[in-house]
Amino acid sequence: MSNLCRICGIEGDHQAYTVKEMMFGTREEFEYFQCSFCGCLQIKQVPEDLGRYYPENYYSFQSYDKLAVSRWRSFRYALRNKRGQWLERMAGAFVRPPKHLAWVRNAGADLDSKILDIGCGNGKTLLKMHLGGFRHCIGLDPFIQETLRYHNGVVIHKQSLQEFRENTQENFDLIMFHHSLEHMGDPQEMINAAAALLTERGRILVRVPVADSYAWEHYRENWLQIDAPRHLYLLTRKSMSILAENSGLKVERIDYDSTKGQFIGSELYQRDIPGNSSSRNKPVFNRSQLRSFKQKTRELNQQEQGDQAVFYFCR
């Protein structure tokens, strides 16, 4: 049956897949198809009541109050951002560098940059960045219970990007989507709106699972990152550049940051073990399997075949 790709607009006899809900183990079935032109794997019909697939304890809505007041973290992140690289290397011998260091460097941002995080839940990433010295941090998430105003000045508005845009005159140097774009009904509309809020030399950073990956080719319907029906789109390099170009932007850089979870989760789904199953606590994989998952993950990221990536868009 013919389907219309909602990313590139090509209508065709795209390959269909039936995928089960496995994070909570309801095993409810959803129809997906993969666009034969841009490769985007997408849910055939967005469920009308998507909210019921996000229970209250959904991971991004945990409380981060403790994080916001931790002095230890404050010291760690402040040190690593405000001083020179030699201090960073010294500190790096004891603590793992925070992930945002690479993101902001690659996006050409600095401590004075205005940063907007879209679909950020309770704002964990922004709170960490604020502890790292970034002063202008705003988040948006229409699904939090109420607008959050942290004592340190970080604000997470209970608003959609469209609502926020109508009420602001501000432009941003770094606009981020951390594993949120794949949950949104119309990715092009979101990138268009973000592009309209971008400063002339600003960057949009998009972290998403990608379907032009080993994990999708290997596991298909059991691939962890399909996460039916919450992930509406599993994009590809090609579909991401279509989104960028349609907004007058281009893809400047792609980094692969997949984890060994692509193997652990997908192998469990293949064995019909859901994400919340107590049997996950029993050792399913031995040490050498876990080591090989880790090794394979490193290789896949180097070969640009990992199952998630960081895309940087610029004008």
Q: Which residues bind Zn ion (CB under 5 A)?
A: 5, 7-8, 35, 37-38, 40
As measured in angstroms, the least distance from the Cβ of 242 to Zn ion is 7
Q: How far is the CB of 10 from Zn ion (least distance, A)?
A: 5
**Smallest distance from Zn ion to CB 37, Å:** 5
State the minimum distance, in angstroms, from the CB of residue 36 to Zn ion.
Answer: 8
Tell the smallest beta-carbon distance from residue 35 to Zn ion (Å). Answer: 3
Residue pair 33/16 in contact (Cβ under 8 Å)? The answer is yes
- CB 182 → Zn ion: shortest distance, Å? 15
Amino acid in the structure at residue 224: L
Task: Considering the complex, state which of residue 148 and residue 181 has its C-beta at the smaller distance from Zn ion.
Answer: 181
Distances (CA, A) of 101 to 77, 85, 96: 9, 11, 11
In the complex with Zn ion, which residue's Cβ is closer, 33 or 269?
33
Nearer to Zn ion, 8 or 138 (CB): 8
Nearer to Zn ion, 39 or 98 (CB): 39
Q: Where are the alpha helices (DSSP H) in 136-220?
A: 161-166, 187-196, 214-219
At its nearest, how many Å lie between Zn ion and the CB of residue 253?
23
Our CA angle for 110, 302, 125, nearest 5°, is 35
Q: What is the C-alpha to C-alpha distance for residues 217 and 15, in angstroms, rounded to an integer?
A: 13
Look at the chain and count its residues: 315
Cα 313 to Cα 133, 175, 176, 207, 275: the distances in Å are 24, 10, 10, 11, 33
Nearest to 181 by CA among 221, 226, 234, 225: 234
Whose Cβ is closer to Zn ion: residue 46's or residue 264's? 46
Complex with Zn ion: residue 37 or 54, whichever CB lies closer:
37
Nearest in space to 70 (alpha carbons), one of 141, 152, 191, 170: 152
**Closest to 223 (Cα-Cα) out of 87, 37, 84, 32:** 32
Q: Which is nearer to Zn ion, 7 or 226 (CB)?
A: 7
Strands 198-209 and 29-34: unpaired
